[in-house]
Amino acid sequence: MNVTAHTSTSAADPVAWLVHDHQVIRGYLDTLRRGNLGDDRPTLEALKKLLALHNAIEENLVYPALAKLVGREDQAMELFHETAEADLLVFTLSQAAEQDDETAFKATLTDLIAAISDHVELEETRAFPALQAAPPGVQQHLANQILQFKTAVTTPI
């Protein structure tokens, strides 16, 4: 994923950037679902990179904002736990790929698709609307934090 491609979107609306990521993630998952392990290693690596950045942003910035600034602590904790579940599934998926175990790969991929689908639905129908209803200062603060975070983790040392 080209992180800089989202810079202008993120500056205006952090939720739009997150929703865009969800669309890209769904595309990667669909490609993996339709393909075979031998051909899909580049897609798996792209998915892992995108999820690592996306989940780090949500865990470190979005969920704390949802809990502290919007007052949705229970929802933030639920989302955090779902992200951790998805991280474990991605690790298992990666292990199956390293072992060239197509059966385990497809089974884990099915679980990952279901977990991410449920997670995205909760975010997009409940959490993100709550963030969008927050005062503009909250949204701008979150957008600035996301930009700083993305810059920090994608800039070579």
Q: pLDDT digits over 16-29, tens only?
A: 989 999 999 999 99
Model confidence, pTM = 0.85
> Is the pLDDT assigned to residue 88 strictly greater than 50?
yes
- Spell out the domains of the chain, with CATH numbers in brackets: 3-151 (1.20.120.520)
pLDDT at 135: 82
pLDDT at 1: 38
* Integer Cα distance of 75 and 49 in angstroms: 25
CA angle 101, 116, 25 (to 5 degrees): 80
Q: Radius of gyration of the chain from Cα atoms?
A: 16
Total Cβ atoms within 10 A of residue 137:
9
> Is the pLDDT assigned to residue 152 strictly greater than 80?
yes
* Integer Cα distance of 37 and 82 in angstroms: 25
